[in-house]
Structure 1
Amino acid sequence: MERIEALEERMAHLMRAVEDLSDVAARQAREIEVLERRVRLLMERAAEEEAIAAEAPAANVRPPHW
């Protein structure tokens, strides 16, 4: 009987650990989604700035020796 109780106790601890890990994985997945969205926005902004800089007239661009 002690062996069954020990196994049940072990199983309860393992189930709790699995639930905790599942919560961590879910939280990290949400954080990754937010970070991916932010990176995408930053890449779009950088592309827009590059496009604007490419359209700037040469008179507004400093010579390389400055």
Structure 2
Amino acid sequence: MIDIADRLEALETRIAFQDQTIDELNATITAQWQQIDLLTRKLETIEQQVRSGVHIADPANEPPPPHY
């Protein structure tokens, strides 16, 4: 029969590992949200540039590459 102290120690060990896992997952999610926010801001900037008429180089106006 398992002693109560052994059961308690096993539970405390599991909780410690779960706490560590939760902290690691939280750090990962936080980093992902920071990246998502950065990408969202960049996308909004590009959308504003497109709407305001800032043009990216038109390939028709570019000289042909030297291998032609």
User: Do both proteins adopt the same fold according to a TM-score greater than 0.5, normalized to the shorter chain?
Assistant: yes
Alignment: residue pair count: 56
**Structure-1-length-normalised TM-score:** 0.76
Aligned-residue sequence identity (percent) comes to 11
**Structure-2-length-normalised TM-score:** 0.74
- Structure 2: where are the runs of 5+ without partners? 58-68
2:5 pairs with 8, 23, 32, which one? 8
Tell me how far apart the structure 1 counterparts of residues 43 and 15 of structure 2 sit (CA, whole Å): 41
1:48 and 2:49 matched: no
The alpha-carbon deviation at position 23 of structure 1 amounts to 0.1
* Greater relative CO, 1 or 2 (CA 8 Å, sep 6+): 2
Tell me how far apart the structure 2 counterparts of residues 22 and 9 of structure 1 sit (CA, whole Å): 20
- Structure 1: where are the runs of 5+ without partners? 61-66
Root-mean-square deviation (CA, aligned residues, Å) is: 2.0
| Higher helix residue share | 1
Equivalent position of 1:31 in the other structure:
28
Structure 1: which 4+ aligned runs deviate by more than 4 Å? none
